[in-house]
């Protein structure tokens, strides 16, 4: 039976990816595609309903939720003029259903067929991209323009990290607080898997703190900048033009976008704020940091790249400083 659930989970993942392209468009030119996806969703819902038999209560509940979301999605896709917000909301809940099943498979240590990887849902989200760019740039500017010592930066990072971990613990203990966060402040930027795991912003805060504790401030600034600029660019480029897959949904085009954007950003940052650094060192740091960040972004899972990229890039930058 576990094989059937794994197969259904993979099918749900494929459907979520396939339907993302029409979620934000209600135009007639995608009507035929919507109807095709509607039929797929209905058939998949029936498969989920059949699979719930002989399953434990918790797994059966997750299968029922997925089937309900699929039926609702199928109904909305059949509408002649579907509400874009309604489609987006239902699509988001399908992502939550997938992540719940994915977590069930991993925590239950079910045997996944060799070569099969259950990827996380990572939709295109420009608001999230902007949020991460702002976080990184604000962190770097605080280090450059506000803090006069590294200890001040460490204290601030420690307070922010403690706050984020406290909020994460609170939402796990208080369900109503979790609902408030999902529907309010973080709902528009959080990914489906982050509702069950430590969110990326907390990993970023922890990486910043650990970097400040273990390396010179400039080194971790370079790591943070590589993440802040390179990761969003990789996501945008990979979603739009990523045809050559490297690992899972990671693409060669996205990695090249990471490398170029991160290298340019780091080079500009060093030229403006650290003119004392030799030109050859600036070039070497920029190219090395961009390349290392691009590689880490592809291979980092299961470690969150908001933690691994700043730390690894910062370490390599330290070698040249």
SS3 string of 108-172?
Answer: CCCCCCCCCCCCCCCCCCHHHHHHHHHHHHHHHHHHHHHCCCHHHHHHHHHHHHHHHHHHHHHHH
Q: Residue 100's closest CA among 177, 28, 13, 42?
A: 13
Q: What pLDDT is attached to residue 28?
A: 47
Q: What pLDDT is attached to residue 109?
A: 67
Q: What pLDDT is attached to residue 61?
A: 84
% of the chain at pLDDT higher than 70: 91
Q: Report whether pLDDT(321) > 80.
A: yes
Per-residue confidence at 155, pLDDT binned at 50, 70, 90?
A: very high
Per-residue confidence at 142, pLDDT binned at 50, 70, 90?
A: very high
Spatial contact of 167 and 180, defined as CB atoms under 8 Å apart: no
Lookup result for tokens 């420009």: 126
For 270-289, the pLDDT digits (tens) are 999 999 999 999 999 999 99
176 cis-preceded (ω within 30 degrees of 0): no
Query: Degrees (nearest 5) of the Cα angle 191, 1, 95?
Result: 15
Where is pLDDT greater, at 249 or 241?
Answer: 241
CA distance 258 to 240: 14
CA distance 321 to 312: 15
State the CB neighbour count (10 A cutoff) for residue 311.
21
Q: What pLDDT is attached to residue 182?
A: 66
CA distance 205 to 22: 35
83 DSSP 8-state letter = -
% of the chain at pLDDT higher than 90: 42
Instruction: Name the CA dihedral angle for 112, 67, 47, 92, rounded to a multiple of 10 degrees.
Output: -50
7: which 2 tokens?
């197969």
168: which 2 tokens?
């994460």
Going from the C-alpha of 17 to that of each of 10, 54, 221, 226, 292, the distances in angstroms are 11, 29, 35, 27, 28
For 13-63, the pLDDT digits (tens) are 888 888 877 775 545 456 777 788 888 888 888 888 887 776 777 788 888
The average pLDDT across 178-191 equals: 69
Spatial contact of 65 and 100, defined as CB atoms under 8 Å apart: yes
DSSP strands (E only) in the chain: 245-247, 250-251
Q: Report whether pLDDT(160) > 70.
A: yes
Spatial contact of 73 and 41, defined as CB atoms under 8 Å apart: yes
Q: What pLDDT is attached to residue 122?
A: 78
């Amino acid at each position: 039976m576990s094989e059937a659930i794994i197969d259904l989970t993979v099918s749900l993942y494929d459907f979520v990816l396939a339907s993302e392209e029409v979620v934000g468009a209600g135009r007639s030119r995608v009507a035929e595609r919507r109807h095709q996806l509607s039929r797929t969703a209905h058939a998949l819902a029936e498969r989920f309903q059949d699979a719930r038999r002989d399953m434990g209560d918790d797994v059966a509940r997750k299968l029922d939720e997925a089937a309900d979301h699929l039926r609702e999605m199928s109904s909305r896709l059949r509408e002649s003029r579907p509400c874009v917000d309604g489609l987006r909301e239902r699509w988001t809940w399908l992502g939550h259903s997938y992540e719940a099943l994915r977590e069930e498979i991993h925590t239950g240590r079910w045997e996944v067929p060799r070569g099969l990887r259950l990827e996380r849902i990572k939709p295109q989200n420009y608001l999230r991209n902007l949020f991460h760019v702002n976080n990184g740039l604000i962190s770097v500017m605080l280090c450059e323009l506000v803090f006069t010592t590294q200890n001040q930066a460490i204290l601030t990072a420690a307070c922010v990290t403690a706050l984020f971990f406290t909020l994460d613990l609170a939402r796990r203990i208080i369900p109503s607080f979790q609902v408030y966060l999902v529907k309010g402040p973080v709902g528009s930027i959080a990914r489906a898997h982050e509702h069950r795991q430590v969110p990326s912003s907390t990993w970023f805060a922890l990486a910043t703190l650990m970097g400040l504790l273990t390396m010179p401030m400039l080194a971790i600034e370079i790591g943070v900048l590589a993440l802040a600029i390179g990761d969003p660019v990789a996501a945008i480029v990979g979603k739009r033009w990523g045809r050559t897959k490297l690992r899972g949904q990671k693409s060669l085009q996205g990695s090249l976008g990471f490398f170029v954007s991160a290298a340019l950003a780091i080079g500009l940052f060093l030229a403006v704020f650290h003119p004392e650094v030799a030109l050859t060192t600036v070039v070497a740091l920029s190219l090395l940091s961009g390349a290392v960040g691009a590689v880490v972004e592809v291979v980092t899972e299961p470690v969150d790249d908001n933690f691994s990229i700043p730390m690894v890039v910062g370490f390599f930058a330290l070698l040249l400083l």
